[in-house]
């Protein structure tokens, strides 16, 4: 089992990660009858893409002795209606740690675009990745 998710009422869930016992809560967003006090499930999907991309970039960076420490992403999730769904995810990567050669930039950008979450998301979801070096 990966996690156990419990509905707490009032459009809120509690998710417990089985291996670490880390707890995460979600809340429905304000535009969908919720309080918007925590990540919504769709926020987590968009955030998971950024976290996965940075993780795979980190693996590639470590393999090639590239320092990306302090790099971060800004994530924007775009929603569509009828049916309500994620229509797009915009991620801006702010790359820190060192000066990057064009070869290193290509390697890291390719790593971001080949992470498991990127491949797992429906092709209808527009995934815009921008890198600020």
Q: pLDDT by residue (tens digit) across 37-81?
A: 999 999 999 999 999 999 999 999 999 999 999 999 999 999 999
Q: How many domains does the chain have?
A: 2
101 and 74 in one domain?
A: yes
27 and 44 in one domain?
A: no
Query: What does the alpha-carbon distance between residue 43 and residue 77 come to, in Å, rounded to a whole number?
Result: 7
33 and 87 in one domain?
A: no
Residue 23 has what pLDDT?
Answer: 98
- Mean pLDDT of the chain, nearest integer: 97
105 and 81 in one domain?
A: yes
Domain range for 28: 1-39
Q: Which letter, b or e, does each residue of 60-87 get, where b requires 16 or more Cβ atoms within 10 Å of its Cβ? A: bbeeeebebeebebeeebeeeeeeeebe
105 and 55 in one domain?
A: yes
120 and 87 in one domain?
A: yes
Backbone dihedral angles phi then psi of residue 66, each to the nearest 5 degrees: -110, 135
């Amino acid at each position: 089992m990966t996690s156990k998710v419990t509905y707490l009422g009032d459009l809120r869930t509690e998710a417990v990660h089985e291996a670490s016992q880390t707890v995460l809560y979600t809340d429905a967003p304000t535009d969908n009858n919720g309080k918007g006090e925590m990540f919504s499930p769709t926020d987590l999907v968009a955030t998971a893409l950024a976290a996965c991309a940075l993780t795979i970039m980190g693996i590639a960076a470590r393999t090639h002795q590239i320092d990306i420490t302090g790099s971060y992403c800004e994530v924007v999730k775009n929603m569509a209606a009828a049916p309500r769904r994620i229509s797009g995810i915009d991620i801006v990567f702010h790359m820190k740690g060192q000066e990057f050669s064009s070869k290193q930039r290509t390697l890291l950008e390719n790593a971001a675009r080949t992470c498991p979450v990127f491949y797992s998301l429906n092709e209808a979801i527009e995934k815009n990745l921008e890198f600020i070096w």
